[in-house]
A and B are shown apart, each in its own frame.
Chain A
């Protein structure tokens, strides 16, 4: 093919660069096309059925509108709640979401707090209170084949009587008692839930009421104490669903009746006079019906579930009912059942917090609990405990979720006075540990921590066997670590508290206690105290390798320290810190801890050069690095790589460059497994090399010269170890440039050569470095090659030739890539023939001054050009007629017209190319006209050949 186009190329050496040497004026930009648009205005989302929105209703299509759905989806529900919702079955999820969306629509923040806190609690309770015992369930709905008795009901009275009969019938009817494991039990309860909703949807409202009653009845049964809190959560969910169903039904009954169209919904804060008579009557019927439930516990629970519906009757009824139920719960003999009933009452009450202004009932509930506090130690409780082989302290811990929640609702707007009052009551009950614990976890930590000494004293005098000492200390520790106690008490508090903690014999108790208190120490004390405490911890948990079971807690401790310490370096040099890390013997735990420390250090560390700290950091890093093996997941691998890179960047010896390089050498030895670290190291060394040059301002002394050569050598021998071809290519080019910049010609030459030979390697890994990336890379390479002086040991333009060889040997997927590269090669070679190159590297003599436009040199260039252009022509022809071909043809035409001294042969070629391009017709006409104008302008300066072309151009 090349024979067909045997073209003689003669590079023109005059004035071709006149256009290029012109200085271009830069203008500063204020915007970047890739920058994300910042939202300056938020358009409120319109919520249907809530307050009448007066604002804009149709969002303008702006970025904010695009972002809005996402951000609103994330609003309101915190991840935990969302998680909890996910774990629910679809039905209760629906109901929960409904309540959520309702609460979202009203902007009261306290309500949101309520929803969040209960949602989070729910998940915690379900995971904490589990059992392996058999739970019995008594029910008549689960066994299949329930006879539905449908009688002809002629009169209303008959109907009611029949319904009451039905109610009775479940009391004595075909009930079965089943013994179930916990998961089976949970499934059964879910089944009941579905049963209830499907009964409701198929208009069997009495049946769904019966199911609700039966569910509530389960709450009176404490035969498996340990599971009771979880049971409470599961069953109250069903009751919530039931309450919501009744409420929705009543409100739709009103909607369609009074407000005419079905779309008009009852507003959230409706008044009874907006309710239709029939809805009122139905509502009244519901309450009459539940008032006749025989047993106390189900009656109370079902009434609480329907609490919200009282608003259909009157505005004050709900408030009265809350107060009444608060009293009626005292009739429940079992203290555990009673306290959870109170908890549900508070929950129902606070879900209506936007309507109920008087919150007195919340506190009253707590006081009522205190009133019957002694009942916790009564004979029947003792009997139950011995029967179930449960200790009093475990029993008491069952109360905590309910009590905590109750007191939290009270303390939402609490005062100091209330706390003092409760403490006084607590003292009356012999410093009851249960009450103390509840108070500490419910009140705001700030209120607790200013009374820390008082609490410590009360804890010391705690008489009962309830919540154990370590739990109390832990709760208190959580408070003080969040809110600082008065400055003058801090040391005394620590002394007292730690005396108790240190005396704990059981390691589990000890570590649970130590965890929050370490945070306290880290926050408010100096390194000396931290060191001492860490020493104490090691002393406690080191014997018998007992630490092996407490990796999680230890992890928290380390994490807390790392996140809260002011001076990270001081931590690393601490006597007891690394020994603590040493305790993590298990590989995975150890790696995780190291990761946590190093990530934590990101925040606080800027520059590190202390040898001890560096040593410690390197120790942690090497732990991480050594954990990497063939099975490590990609993500983990990348994460570790990032961490190591960060550490490498952080360590900086300032102007001690030798030391810095030594460190890099060491690092290379240590972190040989991770590619990205090597990349980072090469970049760092290159940066170091450039920094050196800047300091000596280009004039290297012998010493600095040796140093930069060492740097170049470092790069040259490090790059081959990098697995990624892409990085290797880029780094070869970069290192070559840096070496050239530092006048290390030999090293630069070696780098470029290696780079060129790497290009041929990537053929096997095209996915990593696609041609689309390769083309600009090669072009960049070419522009560097322009200023690289020829190696005297090799032939003229050795690098360029080998580059061309590699390109030719490369198996291109797309000929267009090669053509566009060849066009650039022609550009580059034509510039190479100029007397003075448009750019140089400071203190490096390029080929222009080496050869001084020697005839032989020019001839050499022309020879290469000729080969390239004939290659080009054959490729162009192979491309066949298409838009691409014509656009390349124009480009080549311009190059031929401008870059060489037009011989006759080339003149014909140029015109042919032009005609080819014009004939196609798919090119931008204006571009062609401009090209023509340009050439016309150029030819005006006595270039006869060019004039000839211009004349012949159509």
Chain B
């Protein structure tokens, strides 16, 4: 490994916002003089959509995957063909982060069917006989706080706490098999900031059978539109236990969950795809009987 190429971004967390400049250095370490035919820097970002095999045939899923939506694609030349001396050469760079026309820079998100990712790539072209050098470095994009693209219209009135009450009578299935119980609780809001924890509390007022566990299940709902209609898929991101074992009655138990980075982003609704989130409150009784209550969430960046 006589030569190596590295891109070092200035920010340790690699998070950038629209219109900010991505700054950093290209570091090339070489044992001997390096002749090259030009160095270029490319900033790329795109949305990758994939259809679930449940909705379309497995072959379709393979072929019909929707074309990626490119959000940004900028290439600039750092240097023409020249010669680099032996040792480490550091070339500082600065690239403005601007979307392509009619596009919005969505937040970085990694899901099952939808991926939004950004990368900065450096290419060192070399003569016919030697291999080209290439290095790609991922970076993250976040919205400016409060500047979410197209927040859902009903955001204003969902910023309040949401009380709820669960008992066999309130169950959709009519409560068959569930023991006699009463669970009260409250969510501090269903319009949440992704960088702040999801909070609230529950109180088990009575319960005939011991509880085994109370859990919060964070679920992403991804919708991809395509020629044949759309596909909606709900998958679990994480499951957090908030009550373990036979919890005491009439004691408030906090609901507290940190939204994982990368796997969550502000709720995103576009013409081609949608990314939404939900929380399930799951009560598992001692006989493995499950009671689930679903709360749709709206995530924003504040």
Asked whether B196 is an interface residue with its Cβ less than 8 Å from the other chain, the reply is no
Return A429 CB to nearest CB of chain B, in Å: 14
Expressed in whole angstroms, the Cα–Cα distance for A294 and B213 within the complex equals 12
Expressed in whole angstroms, the Cα–Cα distance for A199 and B53 within the complex equals 41
Interface residue range, chain A: 35 or more
Asked whether B244 is an interface residue with its Cβ less than 8 Å from the other chain, the reply is yes
Asked whether B246 is an interface residue with its Cβ less than 8 Å from the other chain, the reply is yes
Name the residue of chain A whose CB is nearest to the CB of B199.
Answer: A324
Name the residue of chain A whose CB is nearest to the CB of B245.
Answer: A333
Q: Are A157 and B242 in contact (CB under 8 A)?
A: no
Chain B contacts with A in 238-264, Cβ cutoff 8 A: 238-249, 251-254, 256-258, 260-262
Name the residue of chain A whose CB is nearest to the CB of B261.
Answer: A288
Expressed in whole angstroms, the Cα–Cα distance for A291 and B263 within the complex equals 14
Question: What are the interface flags for A155-173 relative to B under an 8 Å C-beta threshold, 1 for contact and 0 otherwise?
Answer: 1110011000000000000
Question: What are the interface flags for A135-175 relative to B under an 8 Å C-beta threshold, 1 for contact and 0 otherwise?
Answer: 00000000000000000000111001100000000000000
- Using Cβ atoms and an 8 Å threshold, which residues of chain B touch A374? 248
Asked whether B11 is an interface residue with its Cβ less than 8 Å from the other chain, the reply is yes
Asked whether B214 is an interface residue with its Cβ less than 8 Å from the other chain, the reply is yes
Partner of B244, one of A291, A292, A327, A333: A333
For the complex, would chain A's binding face be called helix, strand, loop or mixed by DSSP majority?
helix
Contacts A333-B211, A333-B246, A379-B210 known; A294 to B256 CB distance under 8 Å?
no
Q: Are B251 and A371 in contact (CB under 8 A)?
A: yes
Expressed in whole angstroms, the Cα–Cα distance for A287 and B195 within the complex equals 13
A277-285, A584-592, A864-872: which lies at the interface: A277-285
- Using Cβ atoms and an 8 Å threshold, which residues of chain A touch B249? 375
Q: Are A157 and B262 in contact (CB under 8 A)?
A: yes
Q: Are A294 and B258 in contact (CB under 8 A)?
A: no
Partner of A330, one of B14, B246, B253, B262: B253
- Using Cβ atoms and an 8 Å threshold, which residues of chain A touch B232? none
Q: Are A281 and B260 in contact (CB under 8 A)?
A: no
- Using Cβ atoms and an 8 Å threshold, which residues of chain B touch A160? 262
Q: Are B240 and A294 in contact (CB under 8 A)?
A: yes
Asked whether A378 is an interface residue with its Cβ less than 8 Å from the other chain, the reply is yes
Name the residue of chain B whose CB is nearest to the CB of A155.
Answer: B138
Expressed in whole angstroms, the Cα–Cα distance for A284 and B260 within the complex equals 11
Q: Are A157 and B138 in contact (CB under 8 A)?
A: yes
Return A931 CB to nearest CB of chain B, in Å: 87
Q: Are B117 and A292 in contact (CB under 8 A)?
A: no
Partner of B256, one of A277, A324, A378: A324
Partner of A292, one of B14, B210, B256, B258: B258
- Using Cβ atoms and an 8 Å threshold, which residues of chain B touch A287? 258
Asked whether B110 is an interface residue with its Cβ less than 8 Å from the other chain, the reply is yes
Expressed in whole angstroms, the Cα–Cα distance for A287 and B211 within the complex equals 29
Question: What are the interface flags for A321-356 relative to B under an 8 Å C-beta threshold, 1 for contact and 0 otherwise?
Answer: 000100110111111010000000000000000000
Asked whether B13 is an interface residue with its Cβ less than 8 Å from the other chain, the reply is yes
Asked whether B129 is an interface residue with its Cβ less than 8 Å from the other chain, the reply is no
Contacts A330-B248, A330-B253, A333-B248 known; A292 to B238 CB distance under 8 Å?
yes
Q: Are B12 and A297 in contact (CB under 8 A)?
A: no
Expressed in whole angstroms, the Cα–Cα distance for A375 and B243 within the complex equals 15
Return B212 CB to nearest CB of chain A, in Å: 9
Expressed in whole angstroms, the Cα–Cα distance for A276 and B13 within the complex equals 11
Name the residue of chain B whose CB is nearest to the CB of A378.
Answer: B246
Name the residue of chain A whose CB is nearest to the CB of B197.
Answer: A291
Q: Are B248 and A157 in contact (CB under 8 A)?
A: no
Question: What are the interface flags for A366-405 relative to B under an 8 Å C-beta threshold, 1 for contact and 0 otherwise?
Answer: 0010011011001110000000000000000000000000
Q: Are B261 and A328 in contact (CB under 8 A)?
A: no
Partner of A291, one of B110, B243, B245, B258: B258
Q: Are A277 and B11 in contact (CB under 8 A)?
A: yes
The 12 listed contacts between A and B (C-beta, < 8 Å) are A220-B244, A276-B12, A278-B12, A292-B258, A294-B239, A295-B241, A328-B242, A331-B241, A331-B243, A333-B211, A333-B244, A333-B248
Beyond A334-B244, A380-B245: 9 further Cβ-contacts under 8 Å? A156-B14, A157-B138, A157-B262, A220-B244, A294-B241, A333-B246, A371-B251, A372-B251, A378-B246
